[in-house]
Amino acid sequence: MTSNVNNSNVNNNALDGMYWADKNKVDDKNNGALTQSDFFALLTQQLAFQDPTKPVENDQMIAQMTNFTMADGISSLNKSFAGFAENMSSNQALQASSLVGRSVLTQSDEIVFTGDTLSRGNITLDKPANSMKISIENDKGEVIQSFSVDNPKVGKNEFIWDGTHNGTGSAMASAAAEGDAGDEEVIDRVKAGVYKVKVDVAFADGSNGSLPINVYTPVGSVSMNGGANGSIMLNLLGLGAVKLSDVLEVSYG
pLDDT tens digits, one per residue of 102-126? 899 999 999 999 888 889 999 999 9
- 116 within a domain of the structure (yes/no): yes
Question: What span, in angstroms and rounded, lies between the C-alpha atoms of 109 and 125?
Answer: 16
Confidence of residue 31 (pLDDT cuts 50, 70, 90): low
Is residue 30 included in any domain, yes or no?
no
Render pLDDT for 149-176 as a digit per residue (tens, 0 to 9).
899 999 999 999 988 887 544 333 333 3
Q: Is residue 154 part of a domain?
A: yes
**134 lies in which domain range?**
102-167+189-251
DSSP state of 52: T
Residue of 210, 115, 216 whose CA lies nearest to 159: 216
Residue 63: closest CA among 43, 33, 35: 43
> Is 213 a member of any domain?
yes
More confident residue, 80 or 84: 80
C-alpha closest to that of 171 among 152, 199, 144, 190: 190
- Residue 149 makes CB contacts below 8 A (sequence gap 6+) with 131, 132, 133, 134, 157, 159
Q: For residue 171, which of 199, 136, 197, 208 has the smallest C-alpha distance?
A: 136
Q: Does some domain include residue 79?
A: no
Question: What pLDDT is attached to residue 45?
Answer: 74
Which H, E and C letters describe 233-248, residue by residue? EEEECCCEEEEHHHCC
Cβ atoms of 119 and 113 closer than 8 Å: yes
User: Buried b / exposed e across 62-94, counting CB within 10 Å, b at 16+?
Assistant: eebeeebeeeeeeeeeeeeeeeeeeeebeebbe
Could you give the CA distance from residue 136 to residue 147 in angstroms, rounded to a whole number?
A: 9
Q: Categorize the per-residue pLDDT at 86 as very low, low, confident or very high, splitting at 50, 70 and 90.
A: low
Higher-pLDDT residue of 128, 62: 128
Q: Model pTM?
A: 0.59
The answer to whether the CB of 245 falls within 8 A of the CB of 237 is no
Helix (H, G, I), strand (E, B) or coil at 147: strand
Residue 240: inside a domain: yes
Query: Is 45 among the domain residues?
Result: no
* Local structure of 253: helix, strand or coil: coil
Per the CB < 8 A criterion, the answer to whether 188 and 173 are in contact is: yes
Asked if residue 14 has pLDDT above 90, the reply is no
How many folded domains does the chain comprise? 1
Q: Would you state the pLDDT for residue 56? A: 60
Q: What is the pLDDT of residues 179-192, one digit of tens each?
A: 344 444 445 788 99
Residue 35 lies in a domain: no
More confident residue, 48 or 214: 214
Rounded average pLDDT over 35-58: 68
Q: Please name the residues in contact with 96: beta carbons below 8 A apart, sequence gap of 6 or more.
A: 222, 232, 234, 244
Question: Residue 110's Cα: distance from chain center in Å?
Answer: 20
Residue 197, pLDDT > 50, answer yes
From 32, 45, 40, 81, select the one nearest 64 (Cα to Cα): 40
pLDDT at 224: 72
Instruction: Quote the DSSP letter at residue 164.
Output: B
Average pLDDT, the chain: 74
Q: What is the CATH number of the domain that holds 237?
A: 2.60.40.4070
More confident residue, 187 or 143: 143
